[in-house]
Structure 1
Amino acid sequence: MSSERDPLLTTPSRYHATVRDSEEAGEEKLGPLEISRLNRWAILVGIWLANFLSVRRTFSLMASISSEFNKSHQVSWLGTAYLLATCTFTPIYGRLCNVMGRRGANQTAVLFAALGTVACGLSPNMNILIAARFLGGIGGGGVFTTSAIITSDMFTLRSRGLAQSVAGVFTAIGMGLGGPLGGLISDRFGWRAAFMMQIPLFLLSFTLTGYSLRYVTPGKGKTSREVLSRIDYGGIITTLVWVCAILLFLSYRYNEQLPWDDARVISTLVVAIVFFLLFIVVELKLAVEPVLAPFLLKQKIPVLVGISNFLVAFCNFSIIYFFPMWFQTVMLSSASIAGMHLLPSSICMSIGSIVAGWSMHRTGKYRSINLTFGISPFIATMLIATMNENSSPARLWLSIIPLGFGNGVVLQTMLIALLAHIPQSAMAVGTGFGQLFRSVGQVGGVAISSAIFQSVLDRELRKRIHGPDANEIIRKIRQSAKLVVSLPPDLQRATRDSYDKALRIVFIMAMCSTLVAYIVRLPIPDKSLDEPEPAAPSPQAPKHPAQADIENTASFSTSPLDTPFDSDDEDRNERTPILRTMNSRPNLKRPRRLSGYESVDGGMDLENDVIGGTARRK
């Protein structure tokens, strides 16, 4: 009996037996472009729900957590640990989608994210909580990568932008509402409830994908040993060590102001350099399936997209983590009001994602909208960097809007630009490649910005605060932004000016980052999304005549008036199961919505019989 692990397109020697088994069992084997609308929506709701949960921020919970554990000096690691795990493990999910399958990889990510959330809610101390955040980050990064890959499976290239833009709405909602919602739950039920209340939604996401994510793609089954042997353990370990060492170096040298000759500063810097070099050696020389995908480093467009992703993420996270602090320390706003200033950006990021997706779907182009709105984040950061206490309320609330809208456009168009310039068989690895640069940018945006901020803040405070107790006062001010509002007037004025100066440097750095990102994107050419996607046909076996019929239809794409959610309204012949199509060789009068399938022996491998999933390129 055939199952989802069987190759979708078989060699002539296996073809008749496979068709006979399928017909005897009365099964229909549907590809990702042929599944029903109901099935597609179930999959999308499942992966989008996981997206929403994975981007919820903990900054609104930090005060409550630090108060319970009395560990305010460690509270910043709650965000850093999550980002460290995301940066380290995100790239591997592109490979896992190929060796474990889409369903297996996605549910692995959701499982880790859910376990991390439960562990956070049950943590007895700060160290366990930090470890739990790291565990959640292992899954959080994978949720985004697998969601992007699954969405790309189910839609033609032209429609992917629109579908991905809707996913961007869920991401933006999670980023915008996660903090305020978490703070509201924390105030009413405690910070642990803010974590535990997410579990039913994780279960719903897991159930929806487990039941619905069962489409088939070409490939061959592999054993568990073969699956596990392809994972790039060396790349994971070396990435974890060098990124963690960099974070510790920045913390020791700039946050704690240790001298350069301190053993902790020197040792962490040396470890970071050594393991970064080891990572390069592993990826280029040793790894069977490297997470870095060296073949993409030789191509212009993936490299430019990766650099843009890094710089955009760097800018975004510099603003996300420090923009509310400016209102809290300079304007003396409450923590909740300060956090609400991020909400306009999140809302407009959703709008930007939808605008970009619809534009690409209608026009089949991405470059013009990218260049038009890609400069918006630079304008926003310039406005933010020049804000002061006398700025109008409209400017204080609205300056951040172009940042969210512009980056919503940029992130969607760059993903489609990347997918348009790589073979269909490299889609999963390419998506992970882009996410790697984005994850490193997120970590860098927090860690580097924090190091610069703390260094400048310490310098500015020492310029303005003098006396026998100056060192102790400065230490307390640097450790707690909440302390500013309770300081005596003269000391408060000096502290507000110091915070303003330090945060302005961070905003200027973010402004430079997004400007360089815009310049980097200028050479990326436009490519019609109506063109057939590049494929790498296998020379291993001759093509079956029926397969040629299918491949001939791959060059067609949806019209600009199609939407990515209309499959139930199409003629049934357009969704005929692939095996039945091969058996009957119908006279196709209208183009089928298939694109980029590999040849019969296509070098993509399915998962083993236990795990479940799809394909990779040899």
Structure 2
Amino acid sequence: MLPSISSDFQKSNEASWVGTSYLLATCTFTPLYGRLSNVMGRSGASQSALLFSVIGILSCGWSNSMQMLIVSRFISGMGGGGIFTTASIITSDMYNLRSRGYVQSIGGIFYGLGMGLGGPIGGLITDRFGWRWAFFIQIPFFVLSLLAITYNLTYVTPGSGRSTSDILKRIDYGGTLTLLLAVGSVLLFLSTRFSEGLSWSDPLVWVPCASAIIFTILFLVVEIYIAVEPILPTYLLTERVPVLVGFSNALVAVCNLSVTYYYPTWFQTVMLTSASTAGLHLLPNSICISGGSLFAGWMMKRYGRYKTMNMVFGILPFCAALLMTQMKKDSNPVILWFTIMPLGFGNAVVLQTMFIALVSHLPESQMAVGTGFAQLLRGLGQVGGLASASAIFQSRLDTELHHHFPTGDKQTEELIKKIQHSARLVATLPPETQHLATESYAASLKSVFILAASASLLAYLARLPIPDKHLGDNGPAKTMDSDTESTTSTASSNFEEIRDDEDKIVRPRHRCMS
């Protein structure tokens, strides 16, 4: 949908902000939902996440400018990450370590199918009815989800005895705010310097760069010296496995986001296909994400090992990204359709096995904190990956267009800006001009795929030192005392470890939906 949306607003150079703003909100606000699920209950936290998502989605459909759309996606991101977080917390309520990977993999099937169907369905709706209806059509599904949660999610989890006000006081607001400002400043710097092409002397370039440094320092100060429940537990920086898993997660996210956002763009700007056809090219990837998730979960449940599987299948994303750099307009259709498949399967296996590798190497008291640490780095990788891909793409596109269209008059400069700001314009250009424009887009997208390949290779190398470990049939974790639980139930975790003793969890009267 992005080329159609950004072309309507004549802001193709700002298109990546639509995705980046969502990921920025997810990265900074998701850690809070773990604590909210303790304060408000699982149902209340889930309903809050859905509410933010609905407000954001409706605002997206009503947006009358690119800026409004970007803000709307940020609001929906505040809820979108919470939906995943609360679902993962509920899963951790009910399953032991060896089974949890399998259960998470079943969730991965639906996640993969959603990613795959979202592209072609969104493109089809955009082609037939306009991109706004691709947002409005989601609302009934959110209403259905809200009803399902209200009816099914009925069990309660008493906390450690602290009052709601005491728990709210322990939330790391300072860390969340400084992280948001630091990451946001980095994104603004990348956008103004590379997407907009402003010079270093421009205040819109050096001010965000300086503020990014300042807020990063403030974030570290808050996390080390001030926060009671830091979203970045700094002591884990001395632990080898959490650091390696977090580093791998961040780089895998860079690879995934670069390809997800720019692979369909290749078909719209180089092959000149419709939005729906471009979206369909993500479907093989989503099918492989589902298959890879289920495969990894089943293998770990059956054999209780993860290392060999990770090493064998973890190299596939690098191979797929390399193949993408070799795509051409006249490439065999089979190559164009199936090149992306190893990337989805391989990264799904990696993410499933790395989650289990992490929790299996942490003591029980650090499990929630450690997984939150890894998830935070993954979120930063998502935001940074998309922003970096956009910066590389726009910078290379500007260079290529000026190479193919030597400047010397105002008319040529205006044409270059139009091509940069409206991806759909390429299909309407005269044949000779169109050929030069598609060549420029192809070269720019190749740079993005090189970034994805590099990130995938570095992630593979980072995982090599992670040792293997047999996954025993561990039962649910034992109840901890209130001081320990206060520390380990920190909101940083997307997979928060909730204690499962009968005296701590009141079982549901109805079905429990995870």
- TM-score, normalization by structure 1: 0.74
- Contact 1:102–1:614, Cα closer than 8 Å, also in 2: no
Give CA-to-partner distance per residue, 1:202-240, whole Å, 9 cap, x none.
Answer: 233233334433445574232221121011111111111
Show the counterpart of 2:432.
490
Residue 505 (structure 1) aligned to one of 429, 447, 456: 447
Give the AA of the match of 1:456.
R
Residue 197 (structure 1) aligned to one of 133, 137, 140: 137
Show the counterpart of 1:526.
468
Instruction: Give 1:523 shift.
Output: 1.1
Give the AA of the match of 1:239.
L
> C-alpha separation between the residues in 1 aligned to 2:151 and 2:477?
26
RMSD: 2.5
Give the AA of the match of 1:357.
G
Give CA-to-partner distance per residue, 1:527-573, whole Å, 9 cap, x none.
Answer: 2210xxxxxxxxxxxxxxxxxxxxxxxxx54xxxxxxxxxxxxxxxx
> C-alpha separation between the residues in 2 aligned to 1:602 and 1:214?
27
Q: Which runs of 5+ in 1 are unaligned?
A: 1-59, 531-555, 558-593, 608-612
Alignment partner of 2:292: what SS?
A: helix
Give the AA of the match of 1:603.
T
Alignment partner of 1:257: what SS?
A: coil
Q: In the superposition, relative to structure 1, how do residues 80 and 182 fare at CA in structure 2: closer, same or farther (>3 Å)?
A: same
Q: In the superposition, relative to structure 1, how do residues 299 and 271 fare at CA in structure 2: closer, same or farther (>3 Å)?
A: same
Q: In the superposition, relative to structure 1, how do residues 508 and 446 fare at CA in structure 2: closer, same or farther (>3 Å)?
A: same
Give CA-to-partner distance per residue, 1:65-117, whole Å, 9 cap, x none.
Answer: 753x5655554432222111112112333444455554443333222222222
Q: In the superposition, relative to structure 1, how do residues 192 and 391 fare at CA in structure 2: closer, same or farther (>3 Å)?
A: closer
Give the AA of the match of 1:596.
A
Give CA-to-partner distance per residue, 1:166-188, whole Å, 9 cap, x none.
Answer: 11111111111112222333455
Show the counterpart of 1:178.
118
Q: In the superposition, relative to structure 1, how do residues 63 and 159 fare at CA in structure 2: closer, same or farther (>3 Å)?
A: same
Show the counterpart of 1:39.
none
Residue 182 (structure 2) aligned to one of 228, 235, 242: 242
> C-alpha separation between the residues in 1 aligned to 2:131 and 2:277?
19
Alignment of 1:405 with 2:345, yes or no, is yes
> C-alpha separation between the residues in 2 aligned to 1:123 and 1:326?
26
Give the AA of the match of 2:375.
Q
> C-alpha separation between the residues in 2 aligned to 1:482 and 1:381?
25
- Contact 2:18–2:69, Cα closer than 8 Å, also in 1: yes
Instruction: Give 1:326 shift.
Output: 1.7
Residue 595 (structure 1) aligned to one of 472, 476, 486: 476
> C-alpha separation between the residues in 1 aligned to 2:129 and 2:431?
36
> C-alpha separation between the residues in 1 aligned to 2:258 and 2:11?
23
> C-alpha separation between the residues in 2 aligned to 1:432 and 1:296?
11
Instruction: Give 1:476 shift.
Output: 1.1
- Contact 1:99–1:614, Cα closer than 8 Å, also in 2: no
Instruction: Give 1:615 shift.
Output: 5.8
Show the counterpart of 2:61.
121
Instruction: Give 1:259 shift.
Output: 0.8
Q: Paired residues, what number?
A: 490
Residue 479 (structure 1) aligned to one of 399, 421, 430: 421
- Contact 1:169–1:353, Cα closer than 8 Å, also in 2: yes
Show the counterpart of 2:457.
515
Give the AA of the match of 1:306.
G
Alignment of 1:395 with 2:331, yes or no, is no
Show the counterpart of 1:20.
none
Q: Which runs of 5+ in 2 are unaligned?
A: 491-495, 500-514
Q: In the superposition, relative to structure 1, how do residues 480 and 150 fare at CA in structure 2: closer, same or farther (>3 Å)?
A: same
Alignment partner of 1:250: what SS?
A: helix
> C-alpha separation between the residues in 2 aligned to 1:274 and 1:257?
24
- Contact 2:56–2:75, Cα closer than 8 Å, also in 1: yes
Show the counterpart of 1:307.
247
> C-alpha separation between the residues in 1 aligned to 2:497 and 2:45?
10
Show the counterpart of 1:135.
75
Q: In the superposition, relative to structure 1, how do residues 204 and 250 fare at CA in structure 2: closer, same or farther (>3 Å)?
A: same
Show the counterpart of 1:298.
238
> C-alpha separation between the residues in 1 aligned to 2:481 and 2:440?
66
Residue 454 (structure 1) aligned to one of 394, 401, 409: 394
Give the AA of the match of 1:513.
A
Give CA-to-partner distance per residue, 1:253-273, whole Å, 9 cap, x none.
Answer: 111111111111111100111
- Contact 2:20–2:386, Cα closer than 8 Å, also in 1: yes
Q: In the superposition, relative to structure 1, how do residues 423 and 206 fare at CA in structure 2: closer, same or farther (>3 Å)?
A: farther
> C-alpha separation between the residues in 2 aligned to 1:332 and 1:126?
23
With 184-193 and 484-493 compared, the bigger mean Cα shift is at: 184-193
- Contact 2:267–2:278, Cα closer than 8 Å, also in 1: yes
Give the AA of the match of 2:4.
A
> C-alpha separation between the residues in 2 aligned to 1:424 and 1:109?
28
Give the AA of the match of 1:475.
K
More helix by share: 2
Residue 326 (structure 2) aligned to one of 386, 392, 395: 386
- Contact 1:145–1:432, Cα closer than 8 Å, also in 2: no
Identical counterparts, % of pairs: 55
- TM-score, normalization by structure 2: 0.89
Query: 1:101-116, aligned counterparts within 5 Å?
Result: 101-116=41-56
Give the AA of the match of 2:468.
D
Residue 604 (structure 1) aligned to one of 479, 485, 490: 485
With 162-171 and 94-103 compared, the bigger mean Cα shift is at: 94-103
- Contact 2:3–2:423, Cα closer than 8 Å, also in 1: no
Query: 1:513-592, aligned counterparts within 5 Å?
Result: 513-530=455-472, 557=474
Give the AA of the match of 2:478.
Y
Instruction: Give 1:602 shift.
Output: 7.0
Show the counterpart of 2:171.
231
Q: In the superposition, relative to structure 1, how do residues 215 and 522 fare at CA in structure 2: closer, same or farther (>3 Å)?
A: farther
Q: In the superposition, relative to structure 1, how do residues 124 and 382 fare at CA in structure 2: closer, same or farther (>3 Å)?
A: closer
Show the counterpart of 1:547.
none
Give the AA of the match of 1:598.
T
Alignment of 1:63 with 2:9, yes or no, is no
Show the counterpart of 2:310.
370
Larger radius of gyration: 1
Q: In the superposition, relative to structure 1, how do residues 396 and 71 fare at CA in structure 2: closer, same or farther (>3 Å)?
A: closer
Query: 1:4-403, aligned counterparts within 5 Å?
Result: 60=1, 63-64=4-5, 67=8, 74-98=14-38, 100-123=40-63, 125-215=65-155, 219-403=159-343
> C-alpha separation between the residues in 2 aligned to 1:238 and 1:130?
20
Instruction: Give 1:334 shift.
Output: 2.5
